[in-house]
Chains A and B, each alone.
Chain A
Amino acid sequence: MSFILQNLWLIPVLPLLAAGISALLKRPNRSLAAGLAIGSMGASFLLSCMAFAATHGKHGAASRQAHNFDWFALGDTVVRLGWVLDPLTAAMVVMITFVGSLIFIFSVGYMSHDENFTRFFCFLSLFAAAMLGLIIANNLLLLFMCWELVGLASYLLIGFWFHKPSAAAAAKKAFITTRIGDVFFFLGIVWLYSETGTLLFYDSGRGCLEQDALAKMVAHTTIGGLAASSAIGLLLFCGAIGKSGQLPLHVWLPDAMEGPTPVSALIHAATMVAAGVFLVARVYPLMEMQQAGVSEPIPLTAVTWIGALTAIFGALVAVSQTDIKRILAYSTVSQLGYMMMGLGIGGVAVGMFHLLTHAFFKALLFLGSGSIIHGCHEEQDIRRMGGIQKFMPVTFATYAIGMMALSGVPLVFCGFWSKDEILHSAWHYGPSKIPFFLGLGGAFLTAFYMTRQMCFVFAGKYRGGHDAAHDDHGHSHSHGGAHSHDPHESPAVMTLPLQILAACTVLLTLVSTPLWPWLPEYLLGEAAHVDAAKLFNAGTLTLLVVSGVVVAGGIGLGWWFYGLLPAEKPDEKDPLEQQFPEQFAWSRGKFFVDELYAATFVKWNARLGELCHDLDRCVLDLLVSIVGWTTTGCAHVAKLFDEFVVNKLFDAGCGEVRRGAEAASELQGGQIHQYLRSIGVALILFVFILAVGCNK
C-alpha cells in the first residue's frame, strides 16, 4: 500500500486538529488561529498533490484504491469505514485545499476588524475538515456523517454575525432546509444497507457500488414497480437536492449570503454546495443502473430534469436581483443545475468538469464581490455602486475574468468549455431536447445578468457615498480617522488570491478543451490524447458557434440595456422593469417560492405543533381524572379486600412481610397515601400468590 493511500486520512484530520486547537484559543490569539488554519490547509494541499500524483497516469480499475478499517462490531459482523483514492477524490481534494487556502488567506484581510476572528478560523477549519472527509470517504455512512458536519459548519458560519436576527434566521433556514433532503438521504442509506449489507463503496468486489451488489439491487423490485436501485438512487438524490440548492429546496442558498463573504465563496459557491453534485458522481454506478422495461435510468432522469429546471430558474431570478451577493447566489443555484444536468445526461466527467471549473471562477467572483463590498464600506446593493473600476483596478480586472468565465465567453475561459461540454451532451440526449434548450436559455440569461451586474458595479459614476453612514450589513468597521467615502482598493492579502484564482481560471482552459481533454479524461481514469479530430468534427464546431453566438447575444443585450446609459441615481427604475414590469416583478420576487412555503409548510408545522400540544392537555386532563377515579376505586376495593380476606390468610401466612409493608406504607403519608396504600396491598397480594404457588 502506497504511502499516500495509507495517510490519506491526514488530509481532513490536519484541518480538524487546527479547528480543535483554535477552539481552545482565546480571542487575542488571532495570528495563531489564522496561521494554524492556513498552515493545515497548505499541508493538506501538499498531501492532495501527492494523492493526485498517485492517481495520475493510472487507468481503469488501477486508478482506484481503497483502505478500510473496523469501526465497531455488530452481532457477528463488523461495521467498517474507509477512504478511497481515485481521480474523483484526488481532483476534489486538490481543488478544495487550493481554493480553500486562497480563501483562508483572503479572510485574513476581510475579517481583520472582526472581534471573533479566532472563532472564524476555527469554524473555517472545521468546515474544511468535514468537506475533505466527505470527499475521501469510502463509506456512505462516513460520507453522511461528514455531510452533516459540513452542514453544521455552514450553519455556524452563516450565523457568524449572530447578533443580526436575519443571519440567525438564515442559518436556521439553511440547516433545516438541507435536513429535509437529508432525512430522505438517511432513509436511502438505511435502505441501501439492508439491501446490500454493506455501506462501503469499494471493498474488493463486496462494496455496494460493485457489480454483485448492484445486480442484486436492480433485480429486487419494490413499491411502485421501482427497482431497489432506482428507489435508493432517488432517495440519495434528495440529499443532493437539499445540499446543492436544487429546486424545490433552493430557498436556503440565497439567504445563506448573510454569512461573511469568504464563507459564501468557500461554502456556498465552490465546495459545500457542490457536495450534492459530488454525491451523485460518487454513487454514479448506482444511479445509472437501468431497471428492466425502462429506457433510461430513473434516478438519472430525475437528476437531468431537476438540474435543467434549476439552471433556468436560477438564471431567471438572478436577472433582477440588486444585492451583489444574491445575484451570485442565484447564479450558483443555476450553475449547480447545470452540473446536475451534466451528470444526468453526460456522465461523471461532464458534471464534475463543470464543478471544478465553476469552483475556481465562482470563488473568484465571490471573493471579488467581497473585495468590492469591503472597498465600498459594506455596501452590497449594486444600485449604490458604479464606476468602481477606477478605484479598484485589480478587483475589476479579476472580476471581469470571472464574469467572462461564468458567462461562457468562448475560447480562453474554462467556463466556456465545461458549459459547452454539458450543452453538447444535452444535444445528444435521446429522450428529449428540452434540457438542451433550457440550458441554452440559461446560458443566454447568465451572460445577460452578469453583464448587467458588471455595468451596475463598474460602469458609469459612483452612486454611493451620499449616505455612507448606512451600514446595516454587519460587522463594525473602522477605517481610522481619515474616513474617505470613496471606495478603495483592498489590501494585497485580498487581491493576491483574486489574481491567483483569475490566472487559474484562464490556465485551466489549457487542459479542458476538446483538443486535449485531459481533465475530463482524467476524471474517468482514462488517458487523454491530443486529438484534433474531436475539435473539428462538425457537431462540436456547430455547437461551439451556437453557444458563442448565444453568449454574445446575452452580453450584447445586457450592454444595450445597462451599459449604454449607465444608471445615474440609485433609485432609478431598472430598464428591464420599464420594458417588462410584470415579468420583472416575478423575477424580483424570486417567483414567491419563499412566500409559498411560509404559507404552507411553515404554517402547517406550527399548526401541528399546537394541535399536539392541545391533544396532550386534553389527554392529560381526561386520563388523569380517569386514573384518579380508578385508583381511588381500587384503593377502596383493596381496603375491603384487605380487611376481610387478606388479613386472615396473611396473619397465618407471613406476618413479617406484612409488618414490613405496613411500616413502609407508614412512611408514605400525605396526599398520595391512598395510591401507595394500594401498592402495598398489591404487594401483599403478590406475596400471597407466590406463597400459594410455592406450597403446592
Chain B
Amino acid sequence: MNGLPLISILTFLPLVGAALVFGVDRERRQLARGLTLAANILALALVAALWVNTNPGEGGMQFTERHVWIPSLGIEYHVGLDGLGLVMLMLAALVIPMAVLASEKINDNVPLYCGLFLFLQGGLFGAFTALNFFHWFLFWELSLIPAFFLIKLWGTKALGPAVEAKFAWLGWGAGKAYLVLFIGALLGFAVKVPLWPFHTWLPLTYSEAPTPVSMALTGVMSKLGVYGFVRLLLPIFPEPMHALLTPLLWLAVATIVLSTFAAFAQRDLKRILAYSSINHLGYCLLGVFAAASATGTALDRTAALNGVVLQMFNHGITASLLFCFVAFLEDRSNGARGLEDFGGLRKVAPVFCGLMGIALFSSLGLPGLNGFIGEFLIFKGVFPLVPWAAVLALPGLLVTAIFILTVIQKVWCGPLNEKWARLPDLTYNEGAVVFPATLLMFVLGVWPQFIIAVINPTVAHWVRQLPF
C-alpha cells in the first residue's frame, strides 16, 4: 500500500465520479444514482483500507504525500492523515451515500443533483486531509459551492433569504479566515460550527434545504468548523485562545443552553433537529475551549479532546440519521413535518418509530448508544479544567431530554390521527439506509474502543504539543 498515493486517489475519485455523472442524460436517473453510489462505495472501501492500514499507536500524520505545487508562493500539495482526519473521512464516506440513498424521491435533474453530492464529497475529503493552508482553504470553499447549489436549486421556494443568509455568513467568515488573523479564523469557524450568536443561519438553512442535503450539512459539513478549531486554532493559536478563554466558554455555554431552549419552542421537526445539532456541537466547542485552560492536567485535556472528536463522529451519524427519518416521514406525509401534524403513528408504523426512537435516544445521550460516551468524556475533561462551565452546561442535558420526549409523545403516541391511518411502515429500501447506521450506533455505544483506538494517540500527541 505504501507506493500508492491513497489520499490523492480518494480525493479525486468522487470528483472524477462527479464529472462522469454530470455527463449522464437527464432522463437516465437510475444510471446516475447507480454511478454515484458506486463511486461512494469505492470511496468507502478506500477509507476502510486507510483505516485498516493506519498505525494506531502513532499520533502523528500518516500516508503523507508532499509535492511542490506553486513554488514561487511556497504552496505545496501536502496531504496526510491522523486520527482526527481518519475519523472525519469515515464520517464523510458514510454520510454522503446515506444522503444519496435518502434522495429517492428527488426526480428533478438527478445527474446534476448526484454529481453535486459527489463534488461535495470530494471537497470534504480534500479539506479533511489537507496539511497546507492554501490547499485546505481551496477544498473548504470547494465543498461550499455544491452545497450552495443543492440548496438553491432543490430547496423550498421560500428560501432565497435563507441561502443568502447562510452564505453571507459563511462567505463572510471565510473571507476573514484568510487574513490569517486569529480573530478572523475564530469568527470564520464560529460561524461554521456555529457558535452562539452566529448560529441563526443554521435552523433556517437546515429546515429549508432538501432533507438529504440537510443530512450532509449536519452530518459532515458542520464538522468543518469544529475541525478548524481543533486542527488550526488550538495548535496554532493556543495563547490567544487562552487569553479569550472566559468569553469563549460563555459563548459555548450559551450555545449549549440557549439552543436547547430554542429547540423546545420549535414546532417544525427539522428546526427542532437543527437546534439540537447546534446544541451537540456546542459540547464540542466547550471541550475545545476548555482544553485551552491553563489549569488541570494533560489527562483532562486528553479526555475532553477525545470526547470532542468522538462527539463529532457520533453526532454526524446520529443527526444525519434523524434527518433521514424526517425525509422518509415527509415522503409519506406530502411534506408535512409539524410537531402537531401527526399523532399515534406508532400504531401504524411500529418499525419506523422504533428505529427512529433509537436514533432519538442516541441524540438524547442514552448510555449504551453512541451519543453518551462522547458527552461523558467532554464533561469528564471539562469539569476539572473549568468547573463552572461544565456546571452551567448541564441544563442542556435535561432540556434535550424534554424536547426529544416531546417529539416522541406528539408524533407517535396518543390516539392515531386518522389522516395517517394508511401511513406505510419502513420499507426495505429505507431499511437498507437505516439498519447499518443503527447497528453502528449500538457498536460505538458498547465498544467505543473501536474508534477511540484511532483518536486517542492523535489527541495525546496534540496535548503534548500544547504549551500549558
What residues of chain A have their CB less than 8 Å away from a CB belonging to chain B? 70-77, 141, 144-146, 148-149, 152, 155, 159, 162-165, 167-169, 171-172, 175-176, 179-180, 183, 186-187, 190-191, 193-194, 605-606, 608-613, 615-616, 619-620, 623-624, 627-628, 630-631, 634, 654, 657, 667-668, 670-672, 675-676, 678-679, 682-683, 685-687, 690-691, 693-695
Can you offer 19 A-B residue contacts whose CB atoms are under 8 A? A74-B456, A75-B298, A75-B299, A75-B306, A75-B459, A75-B463, A145-B372, A148-B366, A162-B413, A165-B414, A176-B402, A190-B383, A609-B265, A616-B203, A623-B197, A624-B168, A682-B179, A690-B74, A694-B74
B240 within 8 A of A: no
A169 engages B448 (CB within 8 Å): no
B261 touches A627 (CB 8 A): no
Q: Are A152 and B383 in contact (CB under 8 A)?
A: no
Query: What residue in chain B is nearest A155 (Cβ atoms)?
Result: B405
The reply to whether A682 and B368 form a contact with Cβ atoms under 8 Å apart is: no
Residue B16 at the chain A interface, CB threshold 8 Å: no
- Within the complex, the shortest CB–CB distance from A220 to chain B, in Å, comes to 12
Interface flag for B300 (CB, 8 Å): yes
B262 engages A616 (CB within 8 Å): yes
- Which of B47-55, B92-100, B109-117, B170-178 participates in binding chain A? B170-178
CB pair B397 A186 closer than 8 Å: yes
Q: Which residue of B lies closest to A167 (CB)?
A: B413
Most A CB atoms within 10 A — which of B259, B265, B299?
B265
Q: A75-B303, A179-B398 are in contact. Are A163 and B171 (CB under 8 A)?
A: no
Contact assessment for A141 and B264 in the assembled complex, using a CB-CB cutoff below 8 Å: no
Inter-chain contact A71/B164, CB cutoff 8 Å = no
Stretch at the interface among B25-33, B120-128, B373-381: B373-381
- Whether the Cβ atoms of B449 and A71 lie closer than 8 Å is yes
B175/A172 in contact, CB under 8 A: no
List, in ascending order, chain A residues with CB within 8 A of B459's CB.
Answer: 75
6 shortest A-B CB distances, which residue pairs? Answer: A145-B367, A168-B413, A620-B200, A609-B265, A75-B302, A613-B265
B383→A191 contact, CB < 8 A: yes
Q: Does chain A have a CB within 8 A of B217?
A: no
Q: Are B452 and A72 in contact (CB under 8 A)?
A: yes
Query: Is the Cβ of A624 less than 8 Å from the Cβ of B456?
Result: no
Please tell me if the beta carbons of B168 and A631 are within 8 angstroms of each other in the complex. Answer: yes
Question: Is B379 within 8 A of A190, CB to CB?
Answer: yes
- Cβ-based interface call for B73 (8 A): yes
Shortest CB distance B350–A (Å) = 8
Q: Which residue of B lies closest to A657 (CB)?
A: B70
Complexed CA–CA distance, A73 and B141 (Å): 36
Could you say which of B178, B200, B377, B390 contacts A624, with CB atoms under 8 Å apart?
B200
Is residue B169 within 8 Å, beta carbon to beta carbon, of the partner chain?
yes
Listed residue (B164, B261, B372) with the most chain A CB atoms within 10 angstroms of its CB: B261
Q: How far is the CB of A98 from chain B (nearest CB, A)?
A: 26
B167 at the interface (CB under 8 A from A): yes
Q: Which residues of A contact B200 (CB under 8 A)?
A: 616, 619-620, 623-624
Query: In this assembly, does B145 line the interface, its C-beta being within 8 Å of a C-beta of chain A?
Result: yes
User: Interface majority SS on B: helix, strand, loop or mixed?
Assistant: helix
Q: Please report the C-alpha to C-alpha distance between residue A623 and residue B402 in the assembled complex, in whole angstroms.
A: 30
Please determine whether B453 and A609 come into contact, CB atoms closer than 8 angstroms.
no
Which residues of the partner chain A approach B259 to less than 8 Å between Cβ atoms? 612
> Least Cβ distance of B359 to chain A in Å?
14
Interface readout for B433-460 with A: 1 if CB under 8 Å, 0 if not? 0000000000000001100110010011
Tell yes or no: B399 within 8 A of A by CB.
Answer: yes
- Which chain A residues border B197 with CB–CB below 8 Å? 619, 623
CB–CB B380/A675 < 8 A: no
Contact among B262, B366, B379, B397 with A612 in the assembled complex (CB-CB below 8 Å): B262
| Closest chain A CB from B81 CB (angstroms) | 20
> Contacting A168 at CB < 8 Å: which of B175, B261, B402, B409?
B409
* Residues in chain A near residue B426, CB distance under 8 A: none
- Report Cα–Cα, A125/B295, bound state, in Å: 46
Q: Are B456 and A672 in contact (CB under 8 A)?
A: no
- A148 B391 Cβ-Cβ under 8 A: no
CA A163 to CA B344, docked complex, whole Å? 6
Cβ of B339 under 8 Å from chain A: no
Which residue of chain B has the shortest Cβ distance to A144 in the bound complex?
B367
* Cα-based distance from A172 to B449 in the complex (angstroms): 33
Docked-complex contact A675 and B167, CB < 8 angstroms? yes
Does A668 contact B299, Cβ atoms closer than 8 Å? no
Interface residue B2 (Cβ < 8 Å from any Cβ of A): no
- For chain B residues 157-216, which have a beta carbon within 8 Å of chain A? 160, 163-165, 167-169, 171-172, 174-175, 178-179, 197-201, 203-204
Q: Does B72 make an interface contact (CB < 8 A)?
A: yes
A350–B233 Cα gap in the complex (Å)? Answer: 57
Q: State whether the Cβ of B43 lies closer than 8 Å to any Cβ in chain A.
A: no
Q: Which residues of B contact A630 (CB under 8 A)?
A: 172
Name, among B298, B361, B398, the residue most crowded by chain A CB atoms within 10 Å (CB to CB): B398
Q: How far is the CB of A484 from chain B (nearest CB, A)?
A: 30
Name the residue of chain A whose CB is nearest to the CB of B168.
Answer: A627
Q: Identify which of B72, B168, B174, B409 contacts A691 (C-beta below 8 A).
A: B72
Q: Nearest chain A CB to B114's CB is how many angstroms away?
A: 19
In contact, B368 and A627 (Cβ under 8 angstroms): no
What residue in chain A is nearest B415 (Cβ atoms)?
A163
Q: Are B266 and A690 touching (Cβ within 8 A)? A: no
- Closest chain B residue to A638, Cβ basis: B175
Determine the chain B residues whose CB is within 8 A of the CB of A623 once the complex forms. Answer: 197-198, 200
A145 with B460, Cβ < 8 A, contacts A165-B413, A612-B258, A627-B172 known: no
- Given the complex of chains A and B, what is the CA–CA distance between A606 and B72 in angstroms? 60
- What's the Cα separation between A585 and B326 when bound, in Å? 47
Q: A194-B300, A683-B178 are in contact. List 17 more A-B contacts (CB 8 A).
A: A74-B302, A76-B460, A162-B344, A194-B383, A609-B264, A610-B265, A620-B165, A623-B197, A623-B198, A623-B200, A624-B201, A627-B169, A667-B145, A672-B164, A672-B171, A690-B75, A695-B72
